[in-house]
């Protein structure tokens, strides 16, 4: 997280994520008044960076194809949101796959163990589900791994996710371009994208084909693909000026701010 400590990360994120914007392909969801944990739809608009995210991770062959594609673009870093059952299942079929991806600089976030809507779970059940998922991740990586982001199944924002984010220090991660579709359509949407866009993809044939189609254009046009942690770190830095004051609100983390 750059120079931000985890404590700062949590402190800052609780006060800075005010700029909620609507997604392009799903109906705009109002910023739920009860949702108090950090929630992000896009990162800093000032940097020529996007975060590609790949949900579910059901298909081993498409994961392997994407790994090969990413190997051709070593400067591109992406974030995976696998379900826990597939963390274990893909590891069985291709031992070391998750470790390889993490070692290459890609990131992993939570997407529930069995792709259940967090909104229908009680907070206690969601905490158990997260811990089960995290146990699977620890198992496949062979080490502890700090998880920062949750992508809710079905993109549903809920009270339970709010509690989960607060209890486990997670940032709820939606997206500004997503929904999938024909590669030509997805490519055009990304080509019209802005700095800070969060792209939602899934590990499926169509979205793999979209990646194959758009990656060369992104490289030629000097776009950086960064992990969610990098995108979020940019976002927090933009919100906090050099004095550590939250620009715009005058709220200080550590000292009195002068506007
Ligand atoms: Zn999903």
Residue-wise pLDDT for 4-45, tens only, equals 444 444 444 443 333 333 332 333 455 555 789 999 999 999
Q: Tell me, yes or no, whether 30 lies in a domain.
A: no
- Is 0.85 surpassed by the pTM of this model? no
Distance 197 CA to ligand 1 centre (A): 19
160, 136 contact by CB (below 8 A) = no
Residue ranges of the alpha helices (H) in the chain? 6-16, 60-71, 84-93, 97-103, 123-141, 159-168, 183-191, 205-220, 228-239
* Each residue's pLDDT tens digit, 161-173: 999 999 999 999 9
Give, in order, the Cα–Cα distances in Å from 225 to each of 59, 77, 81, 190.
Answer: 23, 6, 16, 12
CATH code at position 109: 3.20.20.370
Structural domain containing residue 241: 6-23+35-252
What is the per-residue pLDDT for 34? Answer: 74
* Cα 54 to middle of ligand 1, angstroms: 9
Q: What's the gap in Å between 248 CA and the centre of ligand 1?
A: 35
- Does 29 map to a domain? no
- Find the 111 Cα to ligand 1 centroid distance in Å: 7
Residue 80 CA, ligand 1 centroid: distance in Å? 11
The answer to whether residue 127 is domain-embedded is yes
Structural domains counted in the chain: 1
Q: At what angle do helices 60-71 and 84-93 cross, to 10 degrees?
A: 80
Instruction: Tell me whether residue 200 is in a domain.
Output: yes
Does the residue 1 lie in any domain?
Answer: no
Residue 257 domain-assigned (yes or no): no
Q: Give ion ligand 1 contacts, CB < 5 A.
A: 55-56, 153
Would you say residue 28 lies in a domain? Answer: no
Say if residue 8 is exposed, middle or buried (CB neighbours under 10 Å; 0-12, 13-18, 19+): middle
* Ligand 1 centroid – CA 243 distance (Å): 39
Average pLDDT, the chain: 86
| Rounded distance from Cα 130 to ligand 1 centre (Å) | 15
């Amino acid at each position: 997280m750059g120079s931000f400590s985890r404590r700062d990360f949590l402190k800052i994120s609780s006060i800075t994520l005010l700029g909620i914007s609507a997604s392009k392909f799903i109906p705009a969801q109002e910023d739920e008044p009860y949702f108090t944990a950090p929630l992000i739809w896009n990162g800093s608009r000032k940097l020529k960076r996007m975060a590609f995210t790949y949900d579910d991770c059901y298909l081993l062959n498409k994961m392997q194809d994407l790994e090969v594609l990413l190997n051709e673009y070593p400067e591109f870093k992406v974030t995976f949101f696998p379900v826990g059952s597939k963390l274990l299942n893909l590891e069985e079929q291709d031992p070391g796959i998750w470790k390889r991806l993490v070692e290459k600089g890609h990131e992993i976030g939570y997407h529930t163990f069995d792709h259940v809507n967090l909104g229908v779970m009680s907070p206690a059940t969601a905490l158990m589900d997260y811990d089960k998922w995290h146990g699977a991740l620890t198992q496949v990586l062979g080490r502890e791994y700090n998880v920062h982001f949750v992508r809710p199944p079905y993109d549903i924002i809920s009270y339970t996710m709010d509690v989960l984010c607060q209890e486990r220090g997670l940032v709820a991660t939606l997206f500004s371009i997503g929904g999938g579709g024909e590669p030509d359509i997805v490519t055009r949407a990304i080509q019209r994208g802005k700095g800070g866009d969060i792209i939602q993809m899934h590990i499926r044939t169509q979205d793999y084909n979209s990646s194959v189609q758009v990656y060369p254009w992104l490289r030629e046009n000097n776009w950086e693909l960064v992990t969610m942690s990098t995108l979020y770190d940019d976002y927090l830095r933009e919100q906090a000026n050099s004095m550590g004051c939250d620009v715009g609100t005058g709220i200080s983390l550590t000292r009195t701010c002068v506007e």
